């Protein structure tokens, strides 16, 4: 009975989170475009499936993913074996990323752009190895209690430096590849690893020390992919119009929203979903039974939790394809044809805000942040700040495409601002703020933002799809860090001013 009541609460919460997207789409469709979308019944059904999928996913996280992550962290911390902890961190990071579908798509696009100079398997292994290595380093940071901000400042300074030398063809893809390493399953699992480890070690603060692994997993692939791009594009020739058209065709095919129409096709897609999660499950089982050599506590509940995560994620993706992708793609094209920039910018802002508010991974991390902060942080306020940051970032990114400006200048300026704010920001919020930049690029936001960027670059004369169409995900990652840090700085300043005033009056 308690499970049913809890699931119903989660279901209601998921429906409330999806409402902003529905309102944005309805407003632009009725008030701006003044037409009824085709397949309205299918869209409504799709939205209901999305709500059900998010509810199942969140229920599965609480039952399976978070408990197993904390259990493994507790066991390794009690063993006190630093090498095994770092090996586990590497394997978890590598296994979570190597089979990531969005990374596979990015790698295939990179192969097409470079006419075979970029090997897709090599690129995937490079990104997965980068994430694995940096998660291992992040585990070491938590154990030793090292401050995260110096690692992030040094890392993003390196990102900015490398961007100076990276060829234009690779910059957008490199930043996008950093975003796609953190998905709806890996973010909660990596976050659970960090939080569980910080809670298990005496003297560590879960809020200050437990967060940060997601941020590191986003940052390092940006560097390695750009370095790889310098090698393969450094002596390359300019892209021809024919090659651009091939890229557009391949991207459209990869982003196809056609639904599987038969039961075998549905089962095949579900099998792919299981395949994507399988490396993570394999890592957990190997370490649980061969290294720790203990049975998993409450095994039936953990298995049920992972099953709910997979089924919920599958229902979520199917619902998105039925309910949001078709109308989102057609609206982007119609707004471009509308030739009124105000409505284009307004749509970019509104859809960025709405999709972020519906992100399941953000909901989960916001909830964990609220628990870790013991009331100092409000999960709902954090989600609003992150959604505002994504909305601002996507609007600026859309303006860049419309204006035809270089992405280098925007990215360098954005991360320079982030580095400056890190010096001013209260320490307790730094790790969480950086993590929230990675949480925004998950299953809801990435497809819609990518479709918007490619659509703009395709339909605006003089734009190159590979140079101008990619990179919006980077803007969606930078500005949530800015909004959360600015909010924390303002609140900290107001608190100090109030205490100072109280002290002087007494």
Looking at the predicted structure, is the pLDDT value of residue 437 above 80?
yes
Quote the mean pLDDT of the chain.
77
Q: Is residue 1 part of a domain?
A: no
For residue 464, name the pLDDT band (cuts at 50, 70, 90).
Answer: confident
List the single range of 28-37, 298-307, 348-357 with lowest mean pLDDT. 28-37
pLDDT band per the 50, 70, 90 thresholds, residue 226? confident
Q: Helix, strand, or coil here: 404?
A: coil
Distance between CA 481 and CA 393 in Å, rounded?
10
Q: How far apart are CA 92 and CA 275, in angstroms?
A: 15
The angle at the Cα of 125, spanning 121 to 127, to the nearest 5 degrees, equals 120
Q: Taking a C-beta distance cutoff of 8 angstroms, is the pair 65, 309 a contact?
A: yes
Lowest model confidence (mean pLDDT) among 68-72, 82-86, 90-94: 68-72
Report DSSP letters for 121-138, one per residue: HHHHHHHHHHHHHHHHHH
What is the mean predicted confidence (pLDDT) over 95-111? 68
Top mean-pLDDT range of 138-142, 188-192, 451-455, 478-482: 478-482
The rounded radius of gyration (Å) of the Cα atoms in the chain is 22
Q: Is residue 30 part of a domain?
A: yes
Per-residue pLDDT, averaged over 173-191, amounts to 71
When pLDDT is cut at 50, 70 and 90, the band that residue 396 belongs to is very high
353 touches 440 (CB < 8 A): no
Instruction: Name the pLDDT band for 251 (thresholds 50, 70, 90).
Output: very low
Euclidean distance between CA atoms 499 and 505, whole angstroms: 10
What is the pLDDT, as a whole number, of residue 257?
42
- Percentage of residues in the chain having pLDDT higher than 70: 79
Q: Is 35 helix (H, G, I), strand (E, B) or coil?
A: coil
Q: What is the DSSP string of 264-297?
A: HHHHHHHHHHHHHHHHHHHHHHHIIIIII--PPT
Q: Does the pLDDT at position 431 exceed 70?
A: yes
Q: Six-digit token pair at 211?
A: 């967060």
Q: Is residue 8 part of a domain?
A: no
Residues 6+ apart with CB under 8 A from 483: 385, 386, 388, 389, 392
328 falls in which pLDDT band (50, 70, 90)? low
Does pTM top 0.85 for this prediction? no
Domain membership of residue 6 (yes or no) is no
- Give per-residue burial for 340-371: e unless 16+ CB within 10 Å, then b: eeebbbbbbbbbbbbbbbbbbbbbbbbbbbbe
Predicted local confidence at residue 245, as pLDDT: 55
Domain assignment present for residue 16? The answer is no
| pLDDT for residue 421 | 92
Domain extent, residue 236, equals 24-505
Residue 307 domain-assigned? yes
Query: Sign of the CA dihedral 239, 241, 244, 250?
Result: negative
The string of pLDDT tens digits covering residues 153-166 is 888 888 888 888 88
Quick one: average pLDDT of 391-420?
88
Residue 180 clears pLDDT 60, i.e. is over it: yes
The pLDDT value given to residue 442: 58
Say if CB 439 and CB 182 are below 8 A apart.
Answer: yes
**Does the pLDDT of residue 236 top 70, yes or no?**
no
pLDDT recorded at residue 240: 47
Instruction: Count CB atoms within 10 A of the CB of residue 427.
Output: 14
Write phi, then psi, for 421 (nearest 5 degrees).
-65, -30
- Could you tell me the pLDDT band of residue 254, with boundaries at 50, 70 and 90? very low
Domain assignment of residue 9, yes or no: no
Confidence of residue 258 (pLDDT cuts 50, 70, 90): very low
Q: What is the dihedral of CA 146, 151, 153, 156, to 10 degrees?
A: -160
260 pLDDT higher than 70:
no
The pLDDT-based confidence of 441 (bands split at 50, 70, 90) is low
Q: Is residue 297 part of a domain?
A: yes
User: What pLDDT sits at residue 184?
Assistant: 61
In angstroms, rounded to a whole number, what is the distance separating the alpha carbons of residues 116 and 313? 33
What stretch of H or E contains 479? helix 472-505
Which letter does DSSP use for residue 1 in this model?
A: -
Q: How many domains does the chain have?
A: 1
**DSSP state letter for 258:** P
Q: Which of 238, 233, 193 is nearest to 213 (CA)?
A: 193
Q: Which residue do the tokens 């060829």 mark? A: 167
Check whether 188 has a pLDDT greater than 80. no
The CA distance from 423 to 471, in Å, is: 26
Summarize the confidence of residues 62-85 as an average pLDDT: 73
């Amino acid at each position: 009975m308690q499970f049913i009541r809890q699931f119903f609460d989660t279901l209601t919460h998921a429906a409330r989170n999806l409402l902003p997207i529905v309102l944005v789409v309805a407003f632009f469709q009725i008030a701006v475009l003044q037409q009824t979308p085709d397949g309205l019944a299918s869209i409504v059904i799709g939205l209901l499936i999305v709500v059900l999928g998010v509810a199942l996913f969140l229920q599965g996280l609480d039952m399976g993913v978070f408990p197993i992550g904390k259990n493994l962290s507790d066991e390794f911390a009690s063993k006190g074996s630093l090498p095994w902890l770092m090996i586990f961190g590497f394997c978890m990071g590598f296994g979570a990323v190597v089979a990531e579908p969005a990374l596979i798509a990015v790698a295939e696009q990179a192969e097409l752009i470079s006419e075979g100079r970029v090997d897709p398997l090599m690129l995937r292994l490079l990104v997965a190895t980068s994430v694995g290595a940096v998660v291992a380093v992040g585990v070491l940071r938590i154990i030793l209690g090292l401050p995260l901000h110096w690692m992030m400042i040094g890392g993003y300074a390196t990102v900015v430096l490398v961007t100076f030398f990276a060829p234009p063809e690779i910059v957008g893809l490199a930043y996008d590849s950093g975003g796609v390493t953190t998905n709806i399953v890996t973010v909660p699992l990596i976050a659970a690893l960090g939080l569980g480890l910080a809670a298990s070690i005496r003297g560590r603060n879960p809020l200050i020390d437990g967060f940060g692994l997601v941020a590191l997993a986003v940052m390092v692939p940006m560097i390695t992919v750009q370095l790889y791009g310098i090698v393969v594009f450094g002596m390359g020739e300019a892209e021809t119009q024919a090659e651009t058209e091939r890229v557009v065709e391949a991207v459209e095919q990869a982003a196809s929203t056609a639904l599987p129409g038969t039961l075998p096709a549905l089962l095949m897609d579900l099998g792919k979903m299981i395949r994507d999660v399988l490396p993570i499950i394999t890592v957990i089982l190997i370490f649980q039974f061969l290294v720790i050599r203990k049975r998993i506590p409450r095994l039936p509940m953990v298995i049920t939790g992972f099953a709910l995560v997979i089924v919920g994620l599958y229902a979520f993706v199917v619902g998105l394809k039925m309910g949001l992708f078709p109308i989102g793609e057609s609206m982007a094209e119609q707004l471009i044809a509308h030739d009124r920039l105000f409505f284009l910018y307004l749509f970019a802002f509104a859809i960025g805000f709405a999709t972020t508010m519906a992100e399941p991974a953000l909901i989960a991390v916001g909830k964990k942040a609220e628990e870790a902060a013991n009331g100092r942080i409000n999960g709902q306020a954090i989600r609003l700040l992150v959604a505002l940051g994504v909305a601002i970032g996507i609007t600026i990114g859309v303006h860049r495409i419309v204006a035809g400006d270089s992405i280098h200048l925007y990215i360098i300026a954005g991360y320079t601002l982030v580095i400056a704010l890190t010096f001013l920001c209260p320490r307790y919020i730094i790790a969480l703020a950086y993590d929230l930049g990675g949480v925004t690029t998950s299953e809801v936001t990435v497809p819609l933002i990518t479709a918007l960027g490619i659509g703009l670059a395709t339909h605006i004369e003089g734009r190159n799809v590979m140079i101008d169409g990619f990179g919006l995900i980077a803007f969606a990652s930078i500005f949530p860090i800015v909004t959360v840090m600015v909010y924390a700085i303002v609140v900290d300043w107001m608190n100090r001013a109030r205490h100072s005033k109280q002290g002087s009056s007494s």
